[in-house]
Chain A
């Protein structure tokens, strides 16, 4: 061995140690990073499925129309484009099994006032009333048809 490389053995040892370090890193990375990470971007592809797995709670108006004649009920009125669950609440459980989960009874007055009580921040074109002065204790449904009120 030439004199200049007299101490080369510890360089070899250093290189080996470095190599072991790299292997350790690659091994740990292979174990810890999921295989589907980075396929479509800097994320786990399986996370898309995880997000899809949440149960649906609002069935949607199309599901209501499968059993109920919603089109006839809403026809011609100002509520024709209002989704059923806007007033009746989340009903996917009822849509899945109509007998097991009955939709709750509705309390008309609070429900109507939520949208039709006067508030200056509401668009002026939206029909609004002062519930006390307008109804004087009567229920909204005494005069108005909830499903198809006059526009």
Chain B
């Protein structure tokens, strides 16, 4: 069989144009449109979280609930949220220039509570800091993703497209808060999705649902009636690493300067 060049070019052009068009058409038919969902208007929400360090008792319910709710691997180094304990010892008056280095621990992410290991000395300071994805509005992790597998959703949540993730780990390195991990089962990245499957159904996140002291509160900044506006107005709030200009939407009340 012989095909001359003219014939080959004509056939190849037809093949490319036709299969491309068919692919486009099929994908259009196959995909659903979340913004068309009747019960949730993606343009009317802008999710954030308020964390009150002065209320956190370090019980670890949030860590446990998150693991169950989001099917996070059980090993003690995979967390979508975790709790850290900071301990700043009493100042040593004999060496006044000594830095007050905080000691930070998080046994199993704080999932089973914190053993009482530090001396009860006067002048020391200790407190709990719940951590999770800061849902940055200008996320370093989104900026480095080479394939568009992680993104800031129109309602302000940084999400992962597990079907699209190639597991390159750039985002794991880029996150200044250490909030990402590689799921060993899929070899794709995973992180806090702010319980996107819950908040889009009118529920609060699993961690907020089980927090016994109300130290964590989900908020919708685009809803003028949401209590988060009053919380932000009446408390002295700070975000983590504000110098990095990540546009973090996890606001901490009572954040100590030693927290990184």
A residues neighboring B (CB under 8 Å): 16, 20, 23-24, 26-27, 29-31, 34-37, 40-58, 60-61, 79, 81-83, 85-86, 90, 114-115, 117-123, 126
A123 contact set on B, CB distance < 8 A: 54-57, 127
Shortest beta-carbon distance from B103 to chain A in Å: 11
Contact present for A60 and B203 (CB under 8 Å): yes
CA distance A41 to B203 in the complex (A): 26
CA distance A20 to B127 in the complex (A): 65
Shortest beta-carbon distance from B52 to chain A in Å: 10
Contact present for A42 and B32 (CB under 8 Å): no
Beyond A47-B163, A121-B127, A122-B58, whether A30 also contacts B197 by CB under 8 A is no
Residue of A48, A53, A56 most packed against chain B (CB within 10 A):
A48
Which residues of B, 149-177, contact A by the 8 Å Cβ criterion?
Answer: 149-154, 159-164
CA distance A48 to B47 in the complex (A): 15
Contact present for B31 and A46 (CB under 8 Å): yes
Beyond A57-B69, A58-B69, whether A119 also contacts B58 by CB under 8 A is yes
Contact present for A20 and B68 (CB under 8 Å): no
10 further A-B pairs in the complex, CB-CB below 8 A; given A20-B9, A122-B57: A26-B16, A45-B31, A47-B159, A47-B163, A54-B70, A54-B71, A90-B68, A119-B58, A120-B120, A121-B85
Contact present for B16 and A24 (CB under 8 Å): yes
Q: Does B186 contact A (CB under 8 A)?
A: no
Shortest beta-carbon distance from B7 to chain A in Å: 14
Contact present for B148 and A44 (CB under 8 Å): yes
Contact present for B9 and A42 (CB under 8 Å): no
Which residues of B, 125-164, contact A by the 8 Å Cβ criterion?
Answer: 126-128, 148-154, 159-164
CA distance A52 to B203 in the complex (A): 12
Shortest beta-carbon distance from A59 to chain B in Å: 8
Shortest beta-carbon distance from A150 to chain B in Å: 16
Beyond A24-B16, A41-B154, A54-B197, whether A83 also contacts B211 by CB under 8 A is yes
B61 contact set on A, CB distance < 8 A: 86, 114
CA distance A86 to B64 in the complex (A): 10
CA distance A122 to B114 in the complex (A): 10
Q: Does B214 contact A (CB under 8 A)?
A: yes
Contact present for A44 and B164 (CB under 8 Å): yes
Give the nearest-CB partner of B254 in chain A: A123
Contact present for B20 and A30 (CB under 8 Å): yes
Q: Does B187 contact A (CB under 8 A)?
A: no
Give the nearest-CB partner of A63 in chain B: B203
Contact present for A90 and B148 (CB under 8 Å): no
- Residue-wise, chain B 203-237 has the 8 Å CB interface mask toward A (1 for contact) of 11010011111100000000000000000000000
CA distance A56 to B94 in the complex (A): 56
